[in-house]
Amino acid sequence: MNTPDLLTLFDQDQRIGIEYLDMRKDVLPHLTRFMRATPGMSFILHSRLDEHNADAAIAEQVAYFAELNQRFNWKVYEHDTPADLAERLVVQGFVADDPDAVMVLNLHNAPDTLLAPVVADVRHLTQREAIRDVIRVEEQVWGGNFDWMTNRLGSHLEIPGYLSLYVAYVNDEPASTGWTYFHPGSQYFASLWGGSTVERFRGRGLYTALLATRAQEARQRGYRYLTIDASPMSRPIVARHGFQLLTNACDYEWKGGT
């Protein structure tokens, strides 16, 4: 499958057909919007705009969320139209986050490094109480407070088959974490999130062990592709394991009302 065909499949599977089970999905004539009922970020995930209707569509969404007094962002992929969509968002009060490389792995051609038995102490977490170990890793790596994960990830763990959450341990100490979402409406793609390793435990293959664990699960569950929104730090790591660049993406958060 060539890249244009894969991009089309990706858009349909991960941006249009996808369902987030704790969010309301609004399918509008020119875009797909996801609304979060609990505190957190709502977002525009997919749009089909051109130079004639883009400015009006952006203004309409700004007015909608301003009326609700709710935060939201617009996720822009480099193949979205019009080509200057990002610039148009900035004009209307949006601020760009750091861009990510959307990397994809064809699980039918996964390298041996991801298919070999995992020897690290990687545990599949299924109980809400165990999320504290995920939080310990994330806070050591990124700083800040990640207590919100208890309710967010905890509620997702209660949905059968929706979230697979893993932590790698060293001498029973949580050292690295990552998880996979298997979204309803997505037939071909599973998505990887949260890959983080505490600094003093890096260089031991834990990130690779978590990557392999999740790749093997997705393959066993019949998925064809894995995707990851890779930061500059993680992009070369996943590239060494067969992930290829599909497109680039960036979140634009509306700041006009703040």
pLDDT in tens, 141-179: 999 999 999 999 999 999 999 999 999 999 999 999 999
Pairing label, strands 163-170, 121-125: antiparallel
Domains 3-99+250-254 and 105-248 fall in the same CATH topology: yes
What pLDDT score was predicted for residue 107? 97
Question: Quick one: tokens of 87?
Answer: 């610039």
Spatial CA neighbour of 202 closest among 140, 149, 131, 132: 140
What pLDDT score was predicted for residue 37? 79
What pLDDT score was predicted for residue 221? 97
Please report the DSSP string for 43-91 in residue order. EEEEE---TTTHHHHHHHHHHHHHHHT--EEEEEETT-SSTTHHHHHHH
Q: What is this structure's pTM?
A: 0.91
Cβ–Cβ under 8 Å, residues 104 and 227: yes
What pLDDT score was predicted for residue 255? 86
Regions in the chain scoring below 70 on pLDDT: 1-2, 38-39, 256-258
Burial (Cβ within 10 Å: 0-12, 13-18, ≥19) of residue 155: middle
Give the angle subtended at the CA of 198 by the CAs of 240 and 14, to the nearest 5°: 55
What pLDDT score was predicted for residue 3? 83
What is the DSSP code (8-state) at residue 233?
T
Give, for 170, the enclosing helix (H) or strand (E). Answer: strand 163-170
What pLDDT score was predicted for residue 145? 95
Residue 231: phi, psi to the nearest 5? -75, 170
Pick the CATH number of 105-248 from 2.60.40.10, 3.40.109.10, 3.40.630.30, 3.40.47.10: 3.40.630.30
What pLDDT score was predicted for residue 38? 66
Q: Does domain 3-99+250-254 have CATH number 3.40.630?
A: yes
Domain limits, the chain: 3-99+250-254, 105-248
What pLDDT score was predicted for residue 257? 55
What pLDDT score was predicted for residue 258? 47
